Amino acid sequence: MPSLSGIHPGLFSSADKSPNAKFRANPSGNGRYRFGLDYTLLRVCLIGGLIGGGLCSPPTAHTPRLVIGIVIDQMRADYLRRFSYKRTGGFRRLMEEGLVYWNCHYTYFPTYTGPGHSSIYTGTTPAYHGIVANTWYERSLGRLYYCVADTTVRSVGTSYPVGQRSPRTLWASTITDELRYASQFRSKVIGIALKDRAAILPAGRAGNLALWFDSRAGAWITSSYYTDTLPSWVEQFNAQRYPDSLLRLPWRLQHTRACSDESPHEGSIGGTTSFPHQPTSYEELVMTPAGNWLTFRLAQIAIEAEKLGQRQGITDFLAISLSSPDLVGHIFGTESCEIEEMYQVLDRQLGEFLNYLTWRFRREEVLVFLTADHGAAPTPEALVEKGWNAGRYPEKALLAEAQAYLRSMMFLPDTLRPIEAFLNQSFYFAQGLSPAQRHEAATLLKHWLLRRAHITHVYTAEDLAGPGGSSYAFQMLQAGFLPARSGDLIVVYAPGWIEAEGYAVGTTHGSIWTYDTHIPLIWWGGGIRGGSIYTRVPITAIASTLAFILRTPLPSAAFTPPLQEVIEQWRLPRFDEEFHGGR
């Protein structure tokens, strides 16, 4: 069993140690702080009032050597302000030094992990990139289909089939694909996440490597889509067996909190609904801050082993997704002490990772953006207790009633199921129905559903495949609708209502409402000098913004203008400077 040396000192202990301690001294011994202005120069600038011009102006930033995307799974925008982050932590640092877009939103339904990561990196919506949900009903196969499943590839690094994954269902190119193309495939692109889809989709079809965590084996794995064997540095990391060591440690509550640790609407880890939590399996381990630590640690090793951002004239891309916040949010809900503690520890872990980047790179060499793949609904019972309209929609009962209603109205035999599947708030009709029957079923069911409580909108596939509408709900559903993969009828629940099946406690996400669409967006590095933007912007603007900074083609289906403030603050060189005055 390995020792715990090197594991984040504040991960589980009660000691409040600064994450800066590890990186205060430059490990290379050259005495240079690579990120930002020298402290002596900064004092001169402040005393002389020279900031903003001449010697003390932010440096002109050419194309960065390394872009790092950090996606926090299920991070609501209000989490940036809800929790009191320390000045030494990562969130405070990003908010103070970075450019913050406080009003960034997803512009489609459904707001899930697969579509979210795909939309960030393709710059478009599910209607065009093809990832309409985490799982959909595949009519050609007559069964449910997971968004990154691929039986034509084999697992690498595990004997379990969880490695049979690839990005082949992704239809549009990603910004990472375009970077590889523009560099004649010299740029390296690596995706790292506990969840397979969160590692695979950001890396695109041309990515060099995607790594995800096998929660049965307790190891990082990949698929033969990328390589026939794990890179040696991944094998060495797995050989350390950090998950085994972390399993011995309970997750304790460390921070001042504005929450209650005793709620009947929460799930459990290790059989307990309140702190301390003792995980009993790798699957439960990644529901704690240990999952974020494992992800950040592997990302740092990837930078060193693959020399990401350390080759002259080449830009590399590291796509990181932190899955643990989503896992704990589903189990305990948005008001829980567990979600607050998760973010307090993540703040420290993020701060340590930024300190590493500060040492490793000069300011103009790295560009970081931080966002989320979706938000989360408040726990319905917590709202009901305060008199709000909220609840868990009984989808299993709804499906049974809908089946019976269509059989009765269409005079179908009792042995026939007119609805083949119901998931993602979408009804898929049986393939055996004729086109006329499918149209009749859609019309009947639409009007029947609209008479039910807590359903605000219902649209048929015919509605969504037609001309655009002006209502918010219609535009959100149409942006996520792809006839080949989406349902025949899609339902919108009222604000505050979530599906009950699979979520008897805690919370979930996926709706068109702002608690699911509103997420953080922060840019950091290069010439970016901070600020706050409150204009509403779509998540799809990230990819086009990166394309202009990286001088790549726009991703194939990207249609959103870039974020002008980011490009201006990055301080791209003038055309004549870029080409050294050449013709």
Closest CA to 16 of 346, 258, 348, 250: 348
> Distance from first CA to last CA of the chain, Å, rounded?
62
Do residues 170 and 205 touch, judged by C-beta distance below 8 A? yes
* Residues in contact with 82: Cβ distance below 8 Å, sequence separation at least 6, in sequence order: 340
CA distance 74 to 347: 15
CA distance 346 to 578: 39
Is 169 a residue of the active site?
Answer: no
Task: Give me the residues paired with residue 523 across strands.
Answer: 99, 369
- String of DSSP letters for 346-382: HHHHHHHHHHHHHHHS-GGGEEEEEEES---PPPHHH
Quick one: tokens of 554? 């726009």
Closest CA to 524 of 62, 147, 234, 100: 100
Q: Is the dihedral of CA 27, 33, 36, 39 positive or negative?
A: positive
Of these residues, 113, 288, 460, 507, which one is catalytic? 113
Coil, strand, or helix at residue 8? coil
DSSP 117: H
R_g (Cα) of the chain, nearest Å: 24
Q: Is 474 exposed, middle or buried (0-12, 13-18, 19+ CB in 10 A)?
A: middle
- String of DSSP letters for 219-264: EEEEETTT-SS--HHHHHHHHT-HHHHHTTS-B---S--SS-S--T
Q: Is the dihedral of CA 230, 297, 133, 123 positive or negative?
A: negative
Quick one: tokens of 571? 């301080």
Q: Is 250 exposed, middle or buried (0-12, 13-18, 19+ CB in 10 A)?
A: middle
* Residues in contact with 33: Cβ distance below 8 Å, sequence separation at least 6, in sequence order: 26, 39, 358, 359
Catalytic amino acids? Answer: 113
